[in-house]
Amino acid sequence: MIRLAHFSDVHLSARPMGWAGGDLLTKRVTGWFNLAALGRGKRFQHAPTVADVLRRDLATRGYDHLVFSGDATMLGFESEMKLAAKVLGVGDPSLPPAIAVPGNHDVYVAASEKGRFFEAAFAPWQQGRRVGDHPYPFATKVGHVWLIAVNSARSNKNPIDASGRVGRAQLDRLRELCASLDAGPRVVVSHYPILEPSRKPEPWFHRLRDWDRVRNVAAACGVGLWLHGHKHGWYVLPSGADLPFPTVCVGSSTQSNRWGYHEYAIDGWHLKGQRRVYDPATGAFADADTFELKLTGAPR
């Protein structure tokens, strides 16, 4: 049996952010307006405090491994990335080992993606088996379970476009990587959902663009569970005709009144989930909903 903690979408920011002249021609401008004037900043005003409390739980609750599914920052500035990694305790030996993937806010503009800000700041949480020297996907074994990091985030020029894509080249590598793994449940960690709570793909400007191809390749790779964020409310989708494996969205761990993280106990191919929710009155996380899932892909 292994125990994991899953958190996501902490959306930490830094002052000063480090604006440069070129940023004025990017979607950082509309992103900043959304932050400053349209309420996004207010929704995350307690994020630094909640992230501190989260880190204490991560260090003290006896997890075997941590799972972070992206959106560490607001606008993908290097200053924000370094601060977020520090607040979350990346590289802190008092925390369990961890696996992390970027969200769309971590590759907010081309400069964030090309500068590999996320991969630099979160390098200790990106250790694993790879295909050649490609950064994604990568896999690490925790007890009897394979955790597989798939990058579904990419930068977008259009201010309203928050969509993602895994891409054919990474999917080819996912096939190759999975073929090299030995027995055990295979759990993907990625930023984007396959389907939203209604079991439909998200709207075009928010979805994983190649969601159907990703779903099919992951199923062929024997993936038994997909852990993600991106949507800030949490939900669980059991497997069905439209989804060959279950998916779990942890939602945002720091957004006011949505704040929470998940504990997973995986025993064989059975998962018990415990949601923990932040309580501002006590300044601590407390147990909330529970759920159970059967991981797919078990040998017959």
- We find the least distance from the C-beta atom of residue 153 to Fe ion, in angstroms, to be 7
**Cα(230)–Cα(280) distance, integer angstroms:** 23
Residue 230 in the binding site for Fe ion (CB under 5 A): yes
Nearer to Fe ion, 26 or 73 (CB): 73
Nearer to Fe ion, 209 or 230 (CB): 230
Which range binds Fe ion by CB under 5 A, 18-26, 37-45, 214-222, 224-232? 224-232
Residue 69 in the binding site for Fe ion (CB under 5 A): no
Which range binds Fe ion by CB under 5 A, 9-17, 72-80, 106-114, 240-248? 9-17
Among 3, 7, 9, 209, binds Fe ion (CB under 5 A): 9
Residue 140 in the binding site for Fe ion (CB under 5 A): no
Residue 71 in the binding site for Fe ion (CB under 5 A): yes
Nearer to Fe ion, 26 or 239 (CB): 26
- We find the least distance from the C-beta atom of residue 163 to Fe ion, in angstroms, to be 10
- We find the least distance from the C-beta atom of residue 6 to Fe ion, in angstroms, to be 14
**Cα(263)–Cα(238) distance, integer angstroms:** 17
**Cα(255)–Cα(17) distance, integer angstroms:** 20
Q: 163-222: which residues touch Fe ion (CB under 5 A)? A: none
User: Hey, what are 43's tokens?
Assistant: 């929704």
**Cα(151)–Cα(233) distance, integer angstroms:** 21
Nearer to Fe ion, 31 or 222 (CB): 31
Listed residue (115, 101, 10) closest to 53, CA to CA: 10
Residue 103 in the binding site for Fe ion (CB under 5 A): yes
* In contact, 98 and 66? CB cutoff 8 Å: yes
- We find the least distance from the C-beta atom of residue 3 to Fe ion, in angstroms, to be 25
Q: Which residues pair with 12 in a beta bridge?
A: 73
- We find the least distance from the C-beta atom of residue 50 to Fe ion, in angstroms, to be 14
Nearer to Fe ion, 78 or 202 (CB): 202
- We find the least distance from the C-beta atom of residue 149 to Fe ion, in angstroms, to be 16
User: Hey, what are 88's tokens?
Assistant: 């979350």
Contacts of 129-135 with C-beta under 8 Å, sequence gap 24+, read: 129/177, 129/180, 129/181, 130/177, 131/173, 131/176, 131/177, 134/170, 134/173
Residue 104 in the binding site for Fe ion (CB under 5 A): yes
- We find the least distance from the C-beta atom of residue 214 to Fe ion, in angstroms, to be 16
Under 8 Å CB-to-CB from 26, ≥6 apart: which residues?
Answer: 109, 110, 111, 157
- How far does CA 44 lie from the centroid of its chain? 17
Applying CB under 5 A, which residues contact Fe ion?
9, 71, 103-104, 230
